[in-house]
Structure 1
């Protein structure tokens, strides 16, 4: 009997340990840092498909969007942040809130789909944003641009989703050189970062967007391959993002893999480990 009791006690202690570990991990993820894996090429070459980073959730304070969403469709799990913290949704305020800076790379909750997006903040409340011939204009003034050379990558499937890059040098077969023009863009306030160009398209010439109070305007650094605030929400774009939808700031890449799986060590990009996000 004593042996059986010890076995049951051991099982209970193991379960308690697992539950406590999950609770601690959940609190840590909700309050401090959230892991984020880059799934697409919309932020090249600042962020590449397969970069893994932790999002600083303390940077802008806390809102309903700070609660984690858990989506594991293969197991039938779809827990949304609103299921946990929906009571705090709707007032566009934050606890210990801090305004983001222009040029921050931000993870935010899409205003309509609820999925996490990562883009660069280019427009603050009250700003007038327009793109003319591929050049970002803020409050009637074009941003400073300098030549940044050529961005080169191999054509072919990238990341777990097998996404293929678009190339400025036309359709390129697998294994060929996929090229894009690169410029260094400097935003008002002094943040400089690379942007990529693939070719002229509709998003290179837009109307004027006036950012509403309490909202922000985001764009991807891979300008011709990014669904962002240039596309309104009614057209399945991002549109203006409310302050409460910000999750946190991307500060540093912790790990990076160019392959279909993070376990394929021969595809690891060791030169990107612990690289600062600028």
Structure 2
């Protein structure tokens, strides 16, 4: 069962807010006319206490910054399992909570930024990946190397089989606005030809390139333009089926990941605040 925390927060805020408003407009006046005990009831007292706190959390979380925990290694080495990150909620436009409807345009994602979005195939889930292509960009991936709009992305091999990831190769990559590191698993091959990112969509990949469910993989075996699964004309995959790529619809964007503020991998371990850093 998936708990929609945003919906719970909105409902709790509106419920306590309605009681708070009712108390301010009517109930307080009635209590003042009473003789003797004029204390508010328990529900009114709790609502008066919790409503300002809930309203503040709702505004901060919905329109400014929202915390997320990294659950998987798909963004290694940039983000580790157990990292707690802050996501800027207004960079990609101000959106309403729960529905994610944009009410104010601000900026658009740039190549190289780390974006949080609702997983197109199940919008109850939040995903985090790096933006590889924006609308109109032509991208390809051959022999572990990215090309964007005909320009090879600069990269440098740092280490083969590093201690923290003994089956991977560690690379430094300069992708758009980001100077970051990625992992590659040499035996795995998944190349794709030049593809153009459609208007209103984004192409994303994890930094742990061969261990990430991203635009290359989540639409394999299905075609559904409504969730960004688009056939690449004239190409087939390794099984001879039409090549299908997944794109992130603009309306599913949640925000830009900007910082790690804590690392807490296990419940019964101590949180590590020395891991604070910007996300490149």
| TM-score class, shorter | 0.7 to 0.9
Measured in 1, the distance between the counterparts of 2:68 and 2:142 equals 32
Match of 2:153 in 1: 143
Out of 161, 174, 178, the residue aligned to residue 186 of structure 1 is 174
Please say if 1:15 is aligned against 2:47: yes
Out of 244, 264, 272, the residue aligned to residue 269 of structure 2 is 264
Deviation at 1:141, TM superposition (A): 3.1
Match of 2:186 in 1: 199
Secondary structure, in 3 states, of the residue corresponding to 2:94? Answer: coil
Match of 2:203 in 1: 217
Q: Which moved more, 1:135-144 or 1:33-42?
A: 135-144
Secondary structure, in 3 states, of the residue corresponding to 1:224? Answer: coil
Greater relative contact order, per chain length (Cα 8 Å cut-off, separation 6+):
1
Measured in 2, the distance between the counterparts of 1:133 and 1:94 equals 42
Match of 1:30 in 2: 62
- 1:13-64 C-alpha deviation (Å, 9 max, x unpaired): 222221332232122211111111000000011100000011101111124x
Out of 254, 259, 279, the residue aligned to residue 277 of structure 1 is 279
Unaligned runs of 5+ in 1: 68-80, 154-166, 170-179
After superposition, where does 1:1-278 map in structure 2 within 5 Å? 5-6=38-39, 8-9=40-41, 12-63=44-95, 66-67=96-97, 81-82=98-99, 88=101, 95-114=104-123, 115-149=125-159, 150-153=161-164, 168-169=166-167, 180-187=168-175, 189=176, 191-203=178-190, 205-233=191-219, 235=221, 239-258=246-265, 260-261=266-267, 264-265=269-270, 268-273=271-276, 275-278=277-280
Match of 2:11 in 1: none
Secondary structure, in 3 states, of the residue corresponding to 2:156? Answer: strand
- 1:156-196 C-alpha deviation (Å, 9 max, x unpaired): xxxxxxxxxxx654xxxxxxxxxx21000112x45211000
Measured in 2, the distance between the counterparts of 1:3 and 1:192 equals 69
Measured in 1, the distance between the counterparts of 2:74 and 2:36 equals 59
Measured in 2, the distance between the counterparts of 1:152 and 1:22 equals 45
8 Å CA contact retained: 2:83, 2:260: yes
TM-score, normalised relative to structure 2: 0.72
Count of matched residue pairs: 224
Q: Which moved more, 1:219-228 or 1:15-24?
A: 15-24
Measured in 1, the distance between the counterparts of 2:36 and 2:132 equals 65
Measured in 2, the distance between the counterparts of 1:228 and 1:214 equals 17
Tell me: CA distance 1:53–1:181, structure 2 relative to 1, closer, same or farther (3 Å): same
Unaligned runs of 5+ in 2: 1-33, 223-228, 230-244
8 Å CA contact retained: 2:94, 2:103: yes
- Bigger radius of gyration: 2
Tell me: CA distance 1:190–1:11, structure 2 relative to 1, closer, same or farther (3 Å): closer
Measured in 2, the distance between the counterparts of 1:4 and 1:200 equals 77
